[in-house]
Chain A
Amino acid sequence: MMNFPSLCYDNRFDDGTPVASTTATGYSVSNLQDWRAYTWWKPTALPATVTVDCGAAKTADYAVIVGHTLGTSGATLEVRGSTDNFVASDVLVATITPTSDNPILLQFASTSYRYWRYKITGGATMPAMAVAAIGTALEIPGDLAEGFDPLTRTVQGTINKSVQGHPLGRVFDYEAWSQDLNFGVITWDWLRASFIPAWKGHLRGSPCVFIWDPVSHSDELYLVTLGDNFKTPHSAGGYANLQFTVSGVHTS
């Protein structure tokens, strides 16, 4: 279970080819892997599953969904693991029945299976999902520096007033969220062994989900892209600071 700010990018669905029980035309199951909150997978019948064969047992400790209509549909989402492609082995790892379409983070004890599966049951209408990942979180072993603001919102828009000064209305385009993150007391070993491989493997080029407080505010998720660079200035005691920028839009 995560305790520190974390980046969720690892995805068991990248270890094989996801196979859906059913797929509506134009809603390819591969859309779940592309980290785009506007390309969707949608089944044509419930219960529905998306299964991946990782080739060997692989570990996961979270599942994250950004962009879905499970809440509107009234469906239940299950994360399941199996050692034999769900013939005799079919283990429920985590489950949720969302009450809204806000992003979902499911945390569970780290466990390994060769076969991983999302299973959707119930639901009055056919739900759709945009970004889905089951994986192991990159937990940053340090606290956010003072000044981090998870709630700030920047409105892009226009205010209209009449000739005689009366307010006529305000038009806004979107709410942006961007933060310069600064983590202190990070070990050089962790940076070299965990962060830099993650940067090279995913973070520098693709979005990820950032969770600033997995313990108390696990529902505050941001689908973000990292800036063009990260910095690791040396700090006292043989540690480093880790600095990078995340930016995205509020999704809830």
Chain B
Amino acid sequence: MTVRDTARTAMERHYVEVLEIDLDRCTNTYGVAPCTATGAAGTECYNTFQTCQAKAAYNKGIHTYSFITRGAPIPPGELVRPYLDSSNTSPTVANPGDGLARRASVSVKLVDEPDSDTEQDPYKATRAPAQGTFWTRLIARNRNYGGRAARLRRGFAVTPWDWGTFQTERYIIDSLAGPDKNGVVSMTLKDPITLADQVKVPIPTDGKVAVALPDYERRGYAQSGTLSTIVLDTKASAVDGYYVGMAVRIDDQTAAGEERIISAYVGATREATVSVNWSVAPDSTSLFSIHHLQVSVTAGKGAQYDVYGYPAYVRLGDEIIRITSRSGDTLLWDTSADRAQFNTPLASHNTSETLQACKTFSDTPITDVVIALANEAGISNTYIDTVGLADQETTWYGTDYHITVALSAPDTVSNYLKELAIESSSIIWWSPIDQKLKMMAVVPNAPSTVPLLSEEASIIEGSFDVQRLDDQRLTMTAMAYNLIYPTADRKKPSSFLSAEMFIDADAESANEYGDQRVNVIYSRWFGAANAQAAANLAGRTINARRNAPLGLKFKIDPKDANFDVGALRDVLSNKITDVTGAPVTMRVLITRYDDNGRFVNIEARSTDFGRRWAFIAPDGTPDYPADSSYAHICLDTGLMGDGTEGYLII
């Protein structure tokens, strides 16, 4: 048992919170190389960027300020200010069906005092005594506090002091206000998924076409050709060198499918020399087309398109072009096939059009897409449950959920994550306790034993509430997918080439619910290769929601508080019974976990599925009923050998 578990499960606990905030602090010493500041003693900076007098030499480090619950014991020998008046958490709420969980936030109230300034001012000894208060000075010297890391540590005071009793939740600073008329400073912390609300992918780019780009430069029948030349039609350009650097492609008849770069062109004869010999010499039957292999963007904008490396993809109107390299403000590609990528239409583009860089994924596991998007939002892999996602990938997603898509219009990462979660029957949330972004397929977990929360031993009196969430009930789910091309209008059903649908006719029948509850999802993520994933969504959604799920709310004592959102627990309450009225144990998914030290507010969702389920048995597994831990589908009667209900393959 850990020291935290020992303290948490004791009958008496001394609950303490510690807030830590990481603010920027220069690692240099004023006036000492590499710092080039030269002010006199008493005029030094405060080692913050705000007060820096030699910003070119500024070297950002971190200083952690710590605040502990007022009245709590001070950890011996540690600078932890007893300023923390209160904290109020609005925790993550990860409801199945919502996709991306509601972001957690914490409102913290901190008191102020004059303070001796020894912590903030490295050069205190050279100055007159500081005026103001701790917070007024800190805010004045650190305007750039937004987005900096904050940790709320919840634990128990023991003797001797032991940080091992603390559990650390990670947030970022969202706002800092005050001191107010009562000297109270208000700080709001939010979970790092907030970053996903702020960051757009692809990164907006604003280069415009500098020289018009036609769909193709010329098309016609060749007059003749050799292995190294092609003589264009008589109306081709009479200007020497006009087509040099462009690609000539044979679209039909002799040499069809071949494409070469034009290395020389004589206007008088219309003869183009190709850089590499044809395999077959074109002749007068050859239908050719000539294509540009570059586009110039407005001056100084070219470097914007390096953002995702090369090959890169840019959108021009509805067309997506694959760019293989850049030269200054000119974007280049290799062949005519680099135009009209992702089934987009080949089109002409005039000088008023903007080139938008695209973020693309090709046959990428859905969990890797989530990780990549989170990375784009500034959430590094350190704060992503990569191990958990890999496990989910192996168990539930697999190749059915490999994504090929081009994101061609900037949208928030949070919108993307929400779509991915909904369309894969998953939830994505930030776990402050594990300090990780997590993703989990909303399917019943493998049969196992999970801890019981009962009205006798765990649930606090007067706290248990159960609701039937009828608004969550569905009788039909459909997914439209296989978008005709990524830039097509996703609001039009006709933009989608494929659909999967699952209808529970029994649920819609007069003897059951007698109504239709329809859920239609239009997916930009799933293509033709994701048909099974689309079918999974439709089927699993109805199986999970043909009956209204139960939503539970209750409080538990900290002694039982050793889990988190996404965990499964069994709940035994007199308010959940079978038809005889006997209490039944219900397995629930924890969707909200709010630990305020005195008790933990829990919200949970029932995990009923349309039919009982299990994994399909591997080779060598004994026959049913000798083995009952795996799914032995059924006899041809639809029932198991013992007459019980057959299994459903999902």
- Tell me the A150-204 residues at the B interface (CB within 8 Å): 156-158, 160-176
Q: B72 touches which one: A26, A165, A174 (CB < 8 A)?
A: A174
Q: Mark B445-474, 1 if CB is under 8 A from A, else 0.
A: 000000000011111111110000000000
How many residues of chain A get a CB closer than 8 Å to chain B's CBs?
42
Contacts of A42 in B (CB 8 A): 77
Contacts of A172 in B (CB 8 A): 12-15
Q: Mark A1-30, 1 if CB is under 8 A from B, else 0.
A: 000000000000000000000000011101
Q: Mark A26-53, 1 if CB is under 8 A from B, else 0.
A: 1110110110111110100000000000
Asked if B204 CB lies within 8 Å of chain A CBs, one says no
Asked if B559 CB lies within 8 Å of chain A CBs, one says yes
Residues B79 and A67 in contact, CB atoms below 8 Å apart: no
Task: State how many angstroms separate the Cβ of A223 from the closest Cβ of chain B.
Answer: 11
Residues B71 and A28 in contact, CB atoms below 8 Å apart: no
Asked if B515 CB lies within 8 Å of chain A CBs, one says no
Q: A28-B118, A101-B76 are in contact. Are A170 and B13 (CB under 8 A)?
A: yes
| Interface bin, chain B | 35 or more
Bound CA span A67–B161, Å: 13
Q: A174 touches which one: B71, B81, B558, B598 (CB < 8 A)?
A: B71
Residues B557 and A31 in contact, CB atoms below 8 Å apart: no
Asked if B33 CB lies within 8 Å of chain A CBs, one says no
Residues A168 and B559 in contact, CB atoms below 8 Å apart: yes
Bound CA span A34–B116, Å: 7
Q: Which of A37, A72, A169 has the most CB of B within 10 A?
A: A169
Residues B461 and A169 in contact, CB atoms below 8 Å apart: no
Asked if B317 CB lies within 8 Å of chain A CBs, one says no
Asked if A241 CB lies within 8 Å of chain B CBs, one says no
Q: Which of B15, B70, B118 has the most CB of A within 10 A?
A: B118
Q: Mark B476-505, 1 if CB is under 8 A from A, else 0.
A: 000000000000000000000000000000
Residues B599 and A170 in contact, CB atoms below 8 Å apart: no
Asked if B160 CB lies within 8 Å of chain A CBs, one says yes
Contacts of B124 in A (CB 8 A): 28, 30
Q: A26 touches which one: B14, B79, B458 (CB < 8 A)?
A: B79
Bound CA span A42–B15, Å: 28
Q: Which of B11, B69, B116 has the most CB of A within 10 A?
A: B116
Asked if B78 CB lies within 8 Å of chain A CBs, one says yes
Asked if B82 CB lies within 8 Å of chain A CBs, one says yes
Asked if B119 CB lies within 8 Å of chain A CBs, one says yes
Contacts of B76 in A (CB 8 A): 67-69, 72, 101, 128
Q: Which of A27, A33, A36, A165 has the most CB of B within 10 A?
A: A36
Q: A34-B116, A173-B72 are in contact. Are A167 and B456 (CB under 8 A)?
A: no
* Between-chain CB contacts (< 8 Å), 10 pairs: A34-B116, A40-B77, A162-B455, A162-B456, A163-B459, A169-B12, A169-B558, A169-B559, A172-B14, A173-B71
In order of increasing CB-CB distance, the 10 nearest A-B pairs are A174-B71, A128-B77, A168-B557, A163-B455, A158-B598, A28-B118, A34-B116, A160-B557, A38-B74, A69-B76
Contacts A42-B77, A128-B77 known; list 17 others, CB within 8 Å. A28-B124, A38-B81, A67-B74, A68-B76, A72-B76, A157-B598, A158-B599, A161-B460, A162-B461, A163-B462, A166-B457, A169-B557, A169-B559, A171-B13, A171-B15, A171-B598, A173-B15
